[in-house]
Amino acid sequence: PGKIGVLANASRPYIAQFFVKPISHLPNEEFEFALYSLRRVLEKTIDKTPMEHRDDFYICSLSSNKLVYKGLIMAHQLEGFYLDLASENFKTSFALVHSRFSTNTLGSWKLAHPYRFVIHNGEINTLRGNVNWMSSREKAFKSTQAGIEVEKLIPVIKQGQSDTASFDNALELLLATGRSLEHSMMMLIPEAWGDHIPMDKYKKDFYEYHSSMMEPWDGPALVIGTDGEKVCAVLDRNGLRPCRYLVTDDDLLVMASETGVIDIPPEKILFKERIYPGRMFLLDGTSGEIINDEELKRGLATRKP
């Protein structure tokens, strides 16, 4: 607590870590869905329970393949506050870090970035419509898979959240129902694809088909998300939030909204690039492969998911 600011410490909630073990072997997808359902049951139960500080209850992450650390703290204060991060035994192939201040909501511990799946620079200006459309579609939700109780998952988006928290909820639903990270991000943040936009037919068909399922979450916004295995960055079609990245000769990838976030000798840099409006970037954390926008979208759209 002494490592953070006075006001942040005064509003600091009780923080606890707990671990969940499956009672039998489950494929990762099934275990993740079970954890998703469990979290929604816990959240809805707390919402209905009269208790002090109920509004401060928040589960940062409940997943078998990723951990979320968040709070009203600066990036350099993280490892002094969350001691796990100072351990040499703590290893990961990638990390998403967000250190910008909020612009359209008051700061609080549960609204701090990162969220369970994304970090976000900008704002979602279509938020009200996105939330309303999601709410209206919930009445038609159903599952053909045995054991899945849809009523446990709705409402998908909790009222009164920030724009990023709402987007995070929508992405979580798409991932939980079997879509890949890149598929989900293409549905949520499509590039400009109208009749007057020159575009390959397979890609336009993809966007047209999915537009009946999900309205675009338009910014200006730069969103970077992960499912614990891959990292996908998308700059929305407005293109008003910069995103630049570089790769070094020892296979380090650094992506940020500004250059120079980490001091790297110029002679170590293999190449630099940026993400353009409506374009995507995918890193496979297992293979270390970077997949560019054209290859990514062509491969996904031609599979007709």
Q: What is the pLDDT of residues 100-149, one digit of tens each?
A: 766 666 678 998 999 999 999 999 999 999 999 999 999 888 877 656 78
Q: How confident is the model at residue 217 (pLDDT cuts 50, 70, 90)?
A: very high
Q: Compute how many other C-beta atoms are within 10 angstroms of the C-beta atom of residue 153.
A: 22
- Collapsing DSSP states into helix, strand and coil, what is residue 207? helix
The band of 201, judged by pLDDT with boundaries at 50, 70 and 90, is very high
Q: Where are the domains of the chain?
A: 89-302
Instruction: Indicate the SS3 state at residue 212.
Output: coil
Which one-letter DSSP state was computed for residue 256? Answer: E
Cis peptide before 242 (omega within 30 of 0): no
Residue-level pLDDT at 270: 96
pLDDT in tens, 257-304: 988 889 999 999 999 999 999 999 999 988 899 999 999 999 999 998
Q: Do 245 and 274 touch, CB atoms closer than 8 A?
A: yes
Task: Identify the pLDDT of residue 108.
Answer: 86
Average pLDDT, the chain: 91
Contacts of 79 (CB under 8 A, 6+ apart): 85, 86
Top CATH class, 89-302: alpha beta
pLDDT tens column, 10-56? 999 999 999 998 888 888 888 999 999 999 999 999 999 998 888 88
What pLDDT sits at residue 259? Answer: 86
| 20-36: burial string, b at 16+ Cβ within 10 Å, e else | eeeeeeeeeeebbbbbb
Cα separation values, 201 from 5, 63, 292, 297, Å: 54, 38, 19, 12
pLDDT value at residue 61: 96
Let me know: does 290 contact 281? Beta carbons within 8 Å.
yes
Closest CA to 289 of 262, 244, 251, 250: 251
Return d(Cα 64, Cα 258) in angstroms, integer.
31
Question: Please, what's the b/e burial string for 192-230 (b: 16 or more CB within 10 A of its CB; e: otherwise)?
Answer: ebeeeeebeeebbebbeebeeebbbbbbbbbbbbbbbbb
Entry pTM = 0.94
pLDDT of residue 232: 98
**pLDDT above 70 covers what percent of the chain?**
96
Most confident of 152-156, 157-161, 223-227: 223-227
